[in-house]
Each structure stands twice: as structure tokens, then as C-alpha cells.
Structure 1
Amino acid sequence: MPVTDGDLEFRAATETVDLQRVDLADKIFGRPRFIHDLVFDGMLHARIVRPPNPGAHFLNAPIDEALTLPGVRKIIAEGDFVAIIAEREGQAERAATFLATKAKWSGVTTLPEQAELSSWIRAQPTKTTKVRQENANHLHGEGHTTLKATYTKPFVAHGSIAPSCGIAIFDGHRLEVWSSSQGVFRLRTAMARALNLEVVNVVVQHVEGAGSYGHNGADDAAFEAALLAMRLPGKHIRIQWSRADELIWEPFGPAMVSDVEATLDQDGMITDWSSQVWSNGHAGRPGYTIANGFLSEAHLNGVSELPASADLPASASYGAARNAEPGYEIDRIDVTAHHLLSMPIRSSALRSLGAHHNIFAIESFMDELANTAGRDPLTFRLAQLSDPRARAVLTAVAEAADWGQAMPANIGRGIAYARYKNRGAYCAVIADVEAEERVKIKRLTIAVDVGRVISADGVRNQIEGGAIQSSSWTLHEQVRFDRERITSSDWETYPILHFSEVPRVDVHLIGGPDEASLGAGEATQGPVPAAIGNALFDLLGLRLRHLPFTQENIVAAIEGQ
């Protein structure tokens, strides 16, 4: 196809111009632009009285007494769904607190034992998928050395800094909703079904909110606002979740377990690879399930356990099996994914889906294999790669970080690489870490090839943000629970990375405008934890296979050596 003047102008622009951020001034100066800032004349405020634990069913509460509280306009108690609508937000909050302390509930869904989560995951009924199988009849039968390892990831919250919010109004025929949902069209269809409305009579307008990074509570808040608006037509109803609502009731990123086995020949090359991964589905957003995909829809219908999340097919680059296939050239390979069919702890899409865990497992295991083969981790990877773009990001990150230099005695260094979805952006990461009382990431050096770049500043923002979020997952984040309820309900019990812990992040963009754009938003999520874990092995001689790298898990790894 001939190159036009327009093509040349586009290339010149994309190579030299960063697109200006039109949103920054409002955010820096605190001007209203988020859904939480929306105000409509006569708008009413709502709060939900949540059950004390999953599976609890509403028995009774002093609703008549609560109706006498200042500002309360309406109380809805249907099935296990209990909500207050009031004139002002504080009035709704006080009435909800009053009812929460007085309400009687029965029943409970038994949650797994957290300390035995990996065993519980393996024991659940599953739907099994062969992700890739080539020359797998005689796996691990003739090699020189065979290694095995197991890697795990806990449930992880989205951790949006602002809780979810939704606003809706119903005029008796048409429902209008404001939401920060990532999928307004799917949300519209799912709400119409759940509320028995024609889709053409539902409008969902997107308004910016806190980062959701997948499927957080935003869809549920929108549905709750819509449900309450239909119970009180003609008024804008605003619902805002609390921090506890968000950390207890949102859908989490699923816990995952992987078994990996590989064989090396006498030259230290990988000849055989087999792996299995177990996970809940990563597609629980309303619309993927036929009914009860919304939290309050399930409560309205008295459902004890939400339907298990669906998972994505190969055509959508999988969910649990995303990046489960190693991106290296290996003759004999067998990769299997097990999708759990029970879901007592609600889970769905979190940034990068299964790729975060799968790349962590693969790239940690690649370092274990390199160590066994007596090879440099970078050289070992390059020996199994012929894709020039994959080799280029590894070479670029090594040059940028001066891989191979002597490091101070208190600093460990690790490397990891992946091509997101096995067809998206190429990303290589080198992590420099220290570990005294706790793990501290000093520097992340990242080389990324996203193809044609429209805005270099935008790509760097995505790569840096993803790396910092993944660092937080790696060092701190895990949902905690007992046999009856989620117990991590605030920033003390669900800590995230502090500003004082944010590492230096150096991003190097390679590639050029002749390549197709590949996307940048989730490329770093998997390589970062693997690079950090590999750096800790370099520093401590300790292999960490279970996220996050907390003091508790490090001590367990020491005791398990």
C-alpha cells in the first residue's frame, strides 16, 4: 500500500509530540469532575445496610422506628436487600448505622480456611481447558534434569482510592444512570434485564471516577442507584459505598495456584514444559451471567452465593489462562487451566486477569531453571527466544540497567520478561531491591515495545502506573478472611504501597511507528513481581513462590527451605 502525505504527517506527529492532558488542571486544583462531585436539584442520598457476612438472610429490623429519624424519606427491605433513602448524605448514613446495629440476620456461607486456600482451590469442581499441547506424549521422560515448583497468588482487591458511586433517576418509563463503570453498554443491558425494563428505555452515562482496574464496585453502585430510583420515581438517587463496602463486597481478583514442571537437557536448554493453573473465572461483570450478577440483585432475590464468574475464551486471550503459555521456544509443552465452578468469595476481573499470576510463575521458574543450569538469567532467556522484538526489549533493559555490573552487597537484582497476552506489548523489567526489616524496591528499569506510539507520555504513564500498582500487589496486598466473612475492611487491614515506598521507575520505549499499536495498560503487571522475586533470590538465596512478599511469607519460605 502506498504511503500518503497523511501517513507521513501522522508518523511525524507521533514521533515528536506528546498529547496534552486535558484533565490534569481540574485534578491538581481539586475542581469537580468525578461522579462523586455530581449534584442534581432535589437529589436524595442512599445507603445500603449490608448483611454481616456472605450468605446471611434478613429477618427483621425496626424499620418503623428508623422512618422517624431526621430526613429519612423511604426504607426498602426486600429479600435480603435493605436500603435507606434520605434528604442528606449524613442522614442516610446515620439511619443505615442505626438499622445495621438493630437488624437480625440468619445463615452464613462457609468460606475457605485462609491458611489452606491453595488446597481448597485444588479440591473444587472445575472446567478444564487444554491451553496448549504439543509433542506431549513423552514429557519429562528423557531429559537431563527436571524441576518442579508451585506458585500462588491470594485474592487481591482493586483498592480504588475513592469508593464506588452511582446516580440514577426514573421517570416511570425511562431510567437514566450515571456511572464510572468500564463497560456502560454491557451494564445497560444487564440492568435492563435485572429490572425488567426494555433496553431502549435505559441510558447509562459514563462519568470519570476513581481507577477501577477492571470490575470493582462501580457496576453494583450503579445498579443500586437504579433500583432505588425505581422505588422512588422522579428523584435523582445517589448511592456512595463506604470504604468497608468496597473492600468487603466488591469482586476481587481471584486467588490462583500453579504447578510448573520443566526439563533441561545437558546443554541447559529447556526441552519439556508442563503446567497447570487453578482459578475462579475472571469475567463476573454483570451480563456474563444470566442472573444475579449484581451484588444487590442477588440479595434482593435471597441468593446465598453469587453464581461463579465466567471465564474468557482463547479468542479473548483467556482469563485464568492468560499468559499461562510460556513465550519461549520449547519442543514439548502441555499447559492446562482449571476454571473453578464454586465461588464463596466473589471474584472477577482485575487488571491483567490471570497474566499477573501466570507471568509471575513462569518468569520465577525461568530463573530457577537458569540457576540450575548455571546460566546467567538474561543469557538463559535469550537462548530460548528468536522473536527479534522479544530479544530487543531484554537487550534494551539490560543495557539501560547495566546488567552484569557488580551490585552493592545489600542490593539484589532480578529480571523478567513477557509479551502480554502472548500477542500484545513486549515488556522486560529489571528490579533492584533491598531487604532489611522489610523488602524495599529501589528501582525498576523497564523496556517496552508497544508498537506505534500515539503519545509517549501516555505510554510511560501507563507503564509506570502499572509497575507501581504491581509492586503494591507484590509487597502488600491480600484479602484476609475467616470462615464467615472478609476481615480486611480498611487501609490498616488491607495495606497498599505508601508514597515512601514508591521506587524509582525508568521507562524506555523501543520499537517504531511502522508497527501496529499493541496497547500498554497491563504489560508490566506480570513481569514486575517476578523481577522482584528474582532479585530477592539474588540477594538472599531465598526463593519466594507465594505472593505477597510479606514478612509472614518470607519467614514461611525460610522455614520451608
Structure 2
Amino acid sequence: MKDQSRREFFKTAGCLTIGFSLSQLPLAAAMLPTQELPGNLRDYADIDAWLQVLADGSIRVFTGKLELGQGIRTAVAQVAAEELDMDLSKVTVTLAETDVTPNEAYTAGSMSVESSAMSIRYAAAAARQRLLEMAAVRLKVPAADLHMDNGTVISGNQQRLSFAEILDGKQLSGEIKMPVALKPKDQYRISGTSVHRDDVALMVKGAPLYVQDLRFPGMLHARVIRPAAYDAKLQHFDEQAVRAKVPGLLQVVVNGSFLAVIAKVEYEAMQAQQVLAAHTEWSAGTPLAGADDLPAYLATVPVQTESVREKGAKLTAPATHQASYFKPYIMHGATGPSCAVALFDKGQLFVWTHSQGVYPLRAALAEMLQLPAEQIRVKGVPGSGCYGHNGADDVAAEAALLAMAVPGKHVRLQWSRQEEHGWEPYGSAMLMNIAAKLDKDGHITHWQYGLRSDSHGNRPGGKAANLLPARYLEKAFKNDRSGSYSGGAYRNAEPYYNIPNQQVDAHFFKGPLRVSSLRSLGAFGNVFAIESFMDELAEQAGKAPFAFRLAHLEDERAVAVVKKLQELLTKATGTGGARLSEAGTSGAATGTGIGIAFARYKNNGAYCAAAAQVHVDQSGETPLIRVEKMWAVVDAGEIINPDGIKNQTEGGMVQAASWTLLEQVTYNTQHVTSVDWYGYSIFKFNQAPAVEVALINRPAEKPLGAGEAVQGPAAAAIANAVYKASGKRIRHLPITAEQLKG
């Protein structure tokens, strides 16, 4: 990646901006079935907030979302190119950048396509109509007689005007108002087709792509010396000791209990960090509870209770079946540890970051640094990262603090693997207790669900207290988790089945470890529990897993994905495979088993049915568990890029398999102990199963985000398959050989 200057940071020159209000629409245009502007168009109703026509006639699109591997850069380019009849090669995308792109808050919740891409679709459609109207005046023909072709407007008698000629150097602006004419979907040629992401080739080649690859002339390097525990305080450090051993050390920065070093060379910064850490004393900090038996501890820790759903009568009679499930703390485990670059120059702070929310981060930095927000510029750069709130915001805040200590110099701060594993916010541990009653026909009449969880959302959100370094400053910001997102814990806690009597309660605790958002939030644990329990109830009722679920589903789209999964299994495995997937009434071990599961993400998002084929070898002293193949069927409404949805679903299945069989954060009374890939195991390449994804396209329905739909169903499918294969029902994650032996 070439060196970047401050000028390039905000360089968007050489463009013509367009915007307007619509009055007349062609009869053939598709109309939005709602009277509201989609997504963030309600906040940014000017077309110049979303796209620009450049001087050469190409299109620059602005999205407030960051590319995390979900393919948003490709999807938004597709919808813009489609509405403007452009070749995809003539559409470029500018990702999240304060004062350049719209403030779309966070890239989270599988909302990138549903909000940002749809906003850009309507902005592009509005731009199309205005360009046609302007061309009609110039060519003296009706707008209905014109069509577009790759940056050119063409009349029936082949008169042509380029976009640049139509605009004639002018900049147009105005408000987009409903209704907006969309291109009829039966005329689509780009949207709805598979377009491969162009960044994948760069990843494979190891080309400069990520924030970790950024380099600037004269850039300095920094490292932070971490406390011994979350709330440990700095007691003493020996600066002379480190200066004697690391001549390249430029500066030691200390502010309260925040301690860091800056050097000219990265290796010298690493050396200084190690030496100074050995010559620093910290207070002991508050001991962490629950390390020896986390499930037992979480069952007794004080909670605040919130009723999530009460429907019909409560379960008072003895339950037909009840069970408890557990999910441990899990981490993002980003392949590339968090990194950021910052520059403080002439009163302006510039930050390059892979944060998933550049505007909320800017607001939090403003509070922490006591700088006006307008003096802070935050540019999103893809990172080798993850879905969720990892260390990206924290490292950006630390880099900003250090840049202010050496004005006029770019400062790069790279976390180590141990820092990433030990200090990032984790996905909360959870306990789920379920009881249900069946009638004589095997239908669920009563359902009682109680979950225990910490928050699943402590992103910066404009609050300095949610930034790690802010807690250690001399004027520290106390993090009491007030204002954290409680709804993430009970995401998908309500079963998506027809059950007349339901009671769902969420019990919130403040656990020992730092927590925040991780892909799918509480849906992973909740769906794992619910769909495992559905298999157990099916066995109690003497029903096959597919038939039992279908008997409790009313939504036709839910029924469709479950039936499509059934077809896939029959085709892929034959009648023997079909018997494996339908087996389970006896609990007999077969060695190989197929388990299934279903959920609709957030109960209002994408539908997903998943299956897993698992082999359990119990012939040796230690049982061996292998996920051989996984299937998923996804209905995400209208599909913009089939390849993108398949990519996310395939990756989601493999990630969920790793969570289910291997991953858990460990800690002692002082701090986290799983600080490398030995202490925190993830799937290796040779453990990844074969995967197959089928999509149900519904062009008449609105697009739904699919990036987090498969995690919960995948985990439950594996647990159900392990039961089929081994005859042992494992309800505590991860599913280990030790549990199968016990």
C-alpha cells in the first residue's frame, strides 16, 4: 500500500454532485411498497450523501459501513451499477469515513445490505431519473424515449450525451422524497448475480490491503504496557532501565495507569515494551470469580430480571421435559491482531482504524481526549478482523493518545497476539434453562425459558468509558456497563414456533470478564439451546426431528427452508442418510449421525435451516469427534449477490463448528489465561468440514442480512448429530472428548 498523506485522507476532488426532488415518474418504474425512505436515507436525504458522478462519468458510491468480509463493497456497487445501467468496473466505493460518508453508526446486526445498500439503491434510482430528465431537455425528446448505457444517455434516434455532458460542470443538490422509481427487477442484469469480491485475490497474494499494512513516511511505532489485571493500578516503573537496554526508545508516555512506549522502529518498540513490563509494578487488582466452575458460579451470581415474553398460561404442572445448557466465554480470535495509525497535527487528529463504527468512535474519542468532534477525522480501513466488537476501537484510542504526545508524526500501534486474546471484549458466557409440556399428540402446549447472560453490547457508542485506555487515565472514565445493549442477550430467545403458552425471561449479571458484541450475539447460545431442546422434545414425543419442527411452524418461508434442507440431505446422503437425519427416538449410537436445526435470525431476519454430519470414534481411549459435512438453506429475501451470501454462510458454519467443539476463554483469579492459539484452540484447515449452501431467492421480498443467520442452527445441528452418533446428549459447550467419556 503506497504512502498516504493527509491530503489523500480526504481526497474526493474531481467530481460532480447531483441531487433533486422527483415530480414525474415513468409508469413502468417499480415503486417502493412503503412510504418511508429506507435505511439512513431518512437522516441523509440528499443524494450527494450517497453517490457522486465523477468528471469522467464514473460513479463514486459512499457507504457508512465497513468491509468486514461480508462483501458490502461489492453489494453496494452492484445496486448502484444496476440502477444507473453502468458497468460494475465504473463504480467505486468509499467506505466509512467521518465527514465523507453518511453516519450509518455500526456495521453490525447483518444490516449492511438491508440498510446501506438499499439507501444507495434509492439514491441511484433518483439520480437516474434526474439525469434522464436533464438529458431530455438537452435533446428535446421525452424522457421516456431515453435509456442509459454505461455512463451515456441515448435517445431512440441514437443521439448521445455522456453524464459529464449532461451535468456540464454543474453540481446539483436536493432532497430525495418518496415515492422513488426503481428499475423493474425483471430488467436486472447485475443485481442478483454472483460477483466475486476483488479483495479476495489480494488476500491470497498477501498484498497490502488491511490497516495493518498502512505505512507513512517517518512513521513511529508504539506499544502499551498492560496491567496485571483488569483494575490493577500502576505503582512504579523504571524508565532508565528500558532506556539503557533499548537505545532506540524515543518516549515513554504515562497518564495515570496508562503506560506506553514510542520508538522509530517496530522491533525497538516491542523490545521496549518487554523490558519496561519487567520493570513495572502494579497493584493486585480485584480477584476474578468463577474460574474453577463457571456454570455453577453463573447460576448463583446476582441478576436483574427482564420479562421478554409472556403469552398465555404459565407452566404450572410438571414439565414433560426440562434441560439446562451452557455456552462459555468465546473470543473473536482475529487472525490479525488489532492495529491503528493516528496523527495529531495542527490541532487536528487523524485516525485510521478497522473500527466497525467510525462516527461512534469519533464521539468517544472526543470525550476521552476533550477535543471537539470536528477536529477529529476517522477513516475506516478494513482489518484482518472479525464480526463484532474486538480490539479495533481500543487500539485506535490508544494510538490517538500516543499521537497527541508526538505531534506531527504518524504513530502506528499494533497489538500482539497475547494482547488481542487477553484484552479484547468477549462474547458473554450464558446459561439457558428450558422446560416444556407436550400434549397427547406430541404438540408443545407450554414453554418456559430462562437465560442468564452478561451484556452483548458495550461498543463505544460515543462513550469514552467503553474504550479500554480511558479506564486507566489519570482522569479515568468508569465503566459500569450502564447503557449496554441488553437486547443482544435475548436475541432469538423466543422460539419461532407455534406454541400457545410461553414465558421467556432474561436474567442479567455482571460477569468477571470484559464482554461486548460477537457475531450473532446471544442468538448463538439461545438457538443452540432451543434447537437442541427441540430434538429432545421430538424424541419424547416419538417424532422425527424434521416432522416435529414442521408440525410447529406456521410461517411458509420457515417451512420452505426446512423442507429444502430435507431434500438436500436425501439427495446428498441417500436413504441411509435420510434415516440418519430422521433417527433419534431410541438414542442408540450409530457412530455417524446427522443433526438438524432451524432459526430465523432475530425472528425477523433471514431464515436458516442447517444440518451437520458428525462422526464419533469411541474405539480408542479418547473419543474423536469430526464434523464431516455441513449443509445450510438460507432465505434472505431478495438476493443481491448469491456468491456473497454463500461465502458468509459457509464461513459461518465453519466458525460455529469451531465454537461448538473447541473454543472457550479460560482465566484464573487474576486475568485471562488463554492468550495464544495453544490456550485458545480454533479449527485448523484439516478440521474444517465440507460445506454446501442452498439459497431460496425471493425477489419480491425485501433483502435481509444473512451474515449471522447460520451460527446458532449450526451449533445445534452439530450437538444433535453428536447425540445421534454417540448416544450422549451434550448440553455444555464446547463439546469435548472428556464429556463423551463421562
Aligned CA distance change for structure 1 residues 310 and 304 (closer, same or farther; 3 Å)? closer
Match of 1:187 in 2: 361
Match of 1:346 in 2: 514
Query: Which amino acid in 2 is paired with 1:548?
Result: P
Query: Which amino acid in 2 is paired with 1:547?
Result: L
> Deviation string for 1:288-338 (max 9, x for gaps)?
6x442111111224869843374436xxxx200000000000000000112
Match of 1:135 in 2: 312
2:675 is equivalent to residue 489 of structure 1: yes
Q: How many residues align?
A: 546
| TM-superposed deviation, 1:386 | 1.2
> Deviation string for 1:33-54 (max 9, x for gaps)?
1111111111100001111222
- What secondary structure is seen at the aligned counterpart in 2 of 1:14? coil
Bigger mean CA offset, 106-115 vs 72-81? 106-115
> Deviation string for 1:334-366 (max 9, x for gaps)?
0011222x3431000000000000000000000
Within 5 Å, give how 1:41-52 maps onto structure 2: 41-52=217-228
Match of 1:506 among 657, 678, 692: 692
Match of 2:545 in 1: 377
| TM-superposed deviation, 1:445 | 1.1
Aligned CA distance change for structure 1 residues 499 and 334 (closer, same or farther; 3 Å)? same
Match of 2:490 in 1: 321
Match of 1:90 among 263, 267, 274: 267
2:438 is equivalent to residue 258 of structure 1: no
Bigger mean CA offset, 243-252 vs 536-545? 536-545
> Deviation string for 1:202-252 (max 9, x for gaps)?
111011111221000011000000000111111111100000000000000
- What secondary structure is seen at the aligned counterpart in 2 of 1:414? strand
2:636 is equivalent to residue 450 of structure 1: yes
2:369 is equivalent to residue 200 of structure 1: no
| TM-superposed deviation, 1:29 | 1.7
2:475 is equivalent to residue 294 of structure 1: no
| TM-superposed deviation, 1:391 | 0.4
Segments of structure 2 that go 5 or more residues without pairing to the other structure are: 1-26, 31-181, 581-589, 618-622
| Whole-angstrom distance in 2 between the partners of 1:21 and 1:404 | 35
| Whole-angstrom distance in 2 between the partners of 1:128 and 1:158 | 28
| Whole-angstrom distance in 2 between the partners of 1:475 and 1:550 | 6
Bigger mean CA offset, 21-30 vs 372-381? 21-30
Aligned CA distance change for structure 1 residues 311 and 58 (closer, same or farther; 3 Å)? closer
Within 5 Å, give how 1:408-427 maps onto structure 2: 409-427=590-608
Match of 1:76 among 253, 267, 273: 253
Match of 2:455 among 278, 281, 292: 281
- What secondary structure is seen at the aligned counterpart in 2 of 1:486? coil
Match of 1:104 in 2: 281
Match of 1:438 among 618, 624, 628: 624
Match of 2:485 among 312, 317, 325: 312
> Deviation string for 1:2-59 (max 9, x for gaps)?
65482135545434x2123121222222211111111111110000111122222111
Asked if the contact 2:465–2:478 (Cα under 8 Å) also holds between the matched residues in 1, the reply is no
Query: Which amino acid in 2 is paired with 1:510?
Result: I
Match of 2:718 among 517, 532, 547: 532
- What secondary structure is seen at the aligned counterpart in 1 of 2:678? coil
Match of 2:441 among 246, 251, 267: 267
| TM-superposed deviation, 1:79 | 1.6
Within 5 Å, give how 1:203-242 maps onto structure 2: 203-242=377-416
Query: Which amino acid in 1 is paired with 2:412?
Result: R
Bigger mean CA offset, 19-28 vs 227-236? 19-28
- What secondary structure is seen at the aligned counterpart in 1 of 2:184? helix
2:730 is equivalent to residue 544 of structure 1: yes
Asked if the contact 1:445–1:507 (Cα under 8 Å) also holds between the matched residues in 2, the reply is yes
| TM-superposed deviation, 1:172 | 4.2
| TM-superposed deviation, 1:78 | 2.1
Asked if the contact 1:283–1:310 (Cα under 8 Å) also holds between the matched residues in 2, the reply is no
Asked if the contact 1:35–1:207 (Cα under 8 Å) also holds between the matched residues in 2, the reply is yes
- What secondary structure is seen at the aligned counterpart in 2 of 1:200? helix
> Deviation string for 1:518-549 (max 9, x for gaps)?
11100001001100000111111111100111
Bigger mean CA offset, 430-439 vs 246-255? 430-439
Asked if the contact 2:290–2:298 (Cα under 8 Å) also holds between the matched residues in 1, the reply is no
Asked if the contact 1:140–1:272 (Cα under 8 Å) also holds between the matched residues in 2, the reply is no
| TM-superposed deviation, 1:98 | 0.4
Aligned CA distance change for structure 1 residues 282 and 92 (closer, same or farther; 3 Å)? same
| Whole-angstrom distance in 2 between the partners of 1:202 and 1:304 | 20
Bigger mean CA offset, 507-516 vs 247-256? 507-516
| Whole-angstrom distance in 1 between the partners of 2:371 and 2:302 | 35
| Whole-angstrom distance in 2 between the partners of 1:173 and 1:305 | 27
Bigger mean CA offset, 433-442 vs 86-95? 433-442
Aligned CA distance change for structure 1 residues 377 and 302 (closer, same or farther; 3 Å)? farther
Aligned CA distance change for structure 1 residues 438 and 428 (closer, same or farther; 3 Å)? same
TM-score (norm 2): 0.71
Percent identity, aligned pairs only?
44
2:647 is equivalent to residue 461 of structure 1: yes
Asked if the contact 1:463–1:521 (Cα under 8 Å) also holds between the matched residues in 2, the reply is yes
Match of 1:362 in 2: 530
Query: Which amino acid in 1 is paired with 2:640?
Result: I
Asked if the contact 1:180–1:208 (Cα under 8 Å) also holds between the matched residues in 2, the reply is yes
Asked if the contact 1:426–1:450 (Cα under 8 Å) also holds between the matched residues in 2, the reply is yes
Aligned CA distance change for structure 1 residues 10 and 297 (closer, same or farther; 3 Å)? farther
| Whole-angstrom distance in 1 between the partners of 2:420 and 2:598 | 33
Bigger mean CA offset, 124-133 vs 220-229? 124-133
Query: Which amino acid in 2 is paired with 1:216?
Result: N
Bigger mean CA offset, 114-123 vs 91-100? 114-123
| Whole-angstrom distance in 2 between the partners of 1:55 and 1:10 | 60
Aligned CA distance change for structure 1 residues 80 and 552 (closer, same or farther; 3 Å)? farther
Query: Which amino acid in 2 is paired with 1:35?
Result: V
Task: Report which structure shows greater RCO (CA 8 Å, sep ≥6).
Answer: 1
Match of 1:175 in 2: 349
| Whole-angstrom distance in 2 between the partners of 1:177 and 1:214 | 20
Segments of structure 1 that go 5 or more residues without pairing to the other structure are: none
> Deviation string for 1:174-198 (max 9, x for gaps)?
1100000111111111111111011
